[in-house]
Chains A and B, each alone.
Chain A
Amino acid sequence: MEHLTLLIGVVIVTALAFDFTNGFHDTANAMATTISTGAMSPRLAVAMSAVLNLAGAFLSVQVAKTISGGIIDEKSGIRPEVIFAGLVGAIVWNLVTWLAGLPSSSSHALFGGLIGATLVAVGAHGVHGEAVVMKVLIPAVASPLVAGAAAALATRLTYRIGRNADPESTRKGYRAGQIASAGLVSLAHGTNDAQKTMGVITLALITGGIIAPGSNPPVWVILSAGTAMALGTYIGGWRIIRTLGKGLTDVQPQQGFAAQSGAATVILASSHLGFALSTTHVVSGAVLGSGVGRKGAVVRWGTAGRMGLSWLITLPAAGLVAAGATAVADQGTWGVGVVGVLGLLVCAGAYVLAQRNRVDHTNVNDVAPVGGSAPLTPAVAGAGAFDAFGGELAATIPAPAQAAPVTRKAAL
């Protein structure tokens, strides 16, 4: 019992750590366009998003129940070690994509991690294949398309209605609209994603025999999950904010408003109908749609393509990491220890790599505007998505002035 309790404690801490990465990975979803259009100052935007995330966590526990009982079969012999390994896989993948500035889905990382770990630990019967297809894969394909189409039409419409209006007189209005729609996305995100962590912690408590199967998450679980996510949101995944707000297309206030409204609507409509979708996919689709919808806007399909690719591999990649982690963690206490240490090393490594080329609230918008259609001009590569891995990239491309000494060291 002693051992069990310690292990479950480790699982809970890991789940909260995942929740934290989820928060900062997904700040961009609600706030990227709000920040890139200047509707809110970066600091204020992430603070508002954090508060609404926390508030959202308390609104509902509907999703939390389906995670613990939906995709993974709780009765197939899932042990806390397996959940732990799944979480490590999800965290590692979240950190890697964050370094690359890629808005990949935290939900997919979590599902992938849990599925990979379960497959290794108990085999295919532990995973509900149909639930995976219905609840994860189909929404992943459909939701960006729906959000993109909605945002494109809405963008077209709002430019049409406002074509004769004085930009000065409408600026305030669009600003308010952006803030309100981004707030709604934050709230929905808190409800959806904090619940996933609650679901995982609840699952761990169930597998450890601490609470009965089918229970609601206890209040302390809700509180800690909401807080961890809000903290992560407030820290802000500035790299991803930059990609989403500046990298896909040059977002104007009208587009930002249309995109966030579309995203909020799609998230609400589909979660009302029982699809657990990824806010990342929805928002990315909506931002792209708003680029398509504005006449004369340049959409960087190259960046969009890389993003799409990262979506495709998120689930299997997190699953693979988790599968490996499970194989080790299943060896017993020392295995869990090894996985824990390796996980911490990855976190530390990601942090160090990120320091080489910091992106934070002071420079998040300092990107050359989307001018030509060339997907990877030097200005883009120097300031854009893949600079964290940029040893070889930065060696061949003139890097931004202040980063130059560091990248040179990296190239050695």
Chain B
Amino acid sequence: MSIDWGALGSVFGVSIAVTVGLVGLFTLGIVGLGDRATATASTASTTSTTEGRGAEGRRADGRSGGGRGPLVRAGAYACFAACAVAVAYGIWLIAG
């Protein structure tokens, strides 16, 4: 009996790489869009937020002020699109 270590190893490597990659991408997308949402909503609330969120609000404000908003947004959508492609590939694999 021979155990196919190669196949096991590739499942291990592929799974971890793909999971971490996808979750990372998706989170970047979420944070990207979230920054926008905070930027529009936080102008009034920046002063009242606590330490961490205050810093976040300032950064988001800086971004929208510097005109990076649309770019961040496009990046976020690109992240989501990449995830969608991966999911489509996954479904194609199931069907295969």
> Contact residues of A with B, CB < 8 Å?
56, 59-60, 62, 130, 133-134, 138, 142, 146-147, 149-151, 153-155, 157-158, 161-166, 169-170, 173-174, 177, 180, 184, 187-188, 191, 254, 257-258, 261-262, 264-266, 268-275
Contact = CB atoms under 8 A, between A and B. Distances in A.
B26 A177 contact: yes
A268 B90 CA distance: 7
Interface residues of B, number: 43
B38 A274 contact: no
Contacts of A272: 93, 96
Given A130-B1, A165-B56, A166-B56, A150 B20 contact: yes
B34 A269 contact: no
Nearest to B6: A273
A31 B18 CA distance: 21
B30 A187 contact: no
Contacts of A180: 87
Interface string B48-90: 0000110111010000000000000000000000000001001
A273 B59 contact: no
B96 A265 contact: no
Contact of A138 (B3, B33, B87): B3
Contact of A266 (B3, B11, B42): B11
B15 interface: yes
Q: What is the predominant secondary structure among interface residues of chain A facing chain B?
A: helix
A401 B7 CA distance: 52
B96 A164 contact: no
Contacts of A264: 90
A162 to B, nearest CB: 5
Given A138-B8, A142-B8, A261 B29 contact: no
B11 A146 contact: yes
A158 B94 contact: no
A148 B46 CA distance: 38
Interface of B: 1, 3-4, 7-8, 10-12, 14-16, 18-20, 22-24, 26-31, 33-35, 37-38, 41-42, 52-53, 55-57, 59, 87, 90-91, 93-96
11 contacts: A56-B94, A62-B96, A142-B11, A149-B16, A157-B27, A162-B31, A184-B91, A265-B90, A269-B15, A273-B7, A275-B11
A158 B16 contact: no
A184 B90 contact: yes
Contacts of A188: 90, 94
A125 B94 CA distance: 33
Contact of B31 (A134, A142, A161): A161
Contact of B15 (A59, A60, A265): A265
A363 to B, nearest CB: 31
Contact of B26 (A184, A257, A273): A257
A134 to B, nearest CB: 7
Most A CB within 10 A of own CB, among B4, B34, B37, B59: B34
Given A161-B27, A161-B31, A164-B55, A154 B20 contact: yes
Nearest to A274: B7
Contacts of B96: 60, 62, 272
B30 A174 contact: yes
B23 A257 contact: yes
Given A158-B27, A166-B56, A170-B31, A265 B4 contact: no
Given A150-B15, A157-B20, A269-B14, A187 B91 contact: yes
Given A257-B23, A269-B14, A169 B38 contact: yes
A165 B26 contact: no
A273 B11 contact: yes
B23 A261 contact: yes
Given A154-B20, A166-B56, A180-B87, A268 B26 contact: no
Nearest to A262: B19
A41 B30 CA distance: 22
B91 to A, nearest CB: 7
A157 B24 contact: yes
A153 B34 contact: no
Contact of B23 (A165, A258, A266): A258
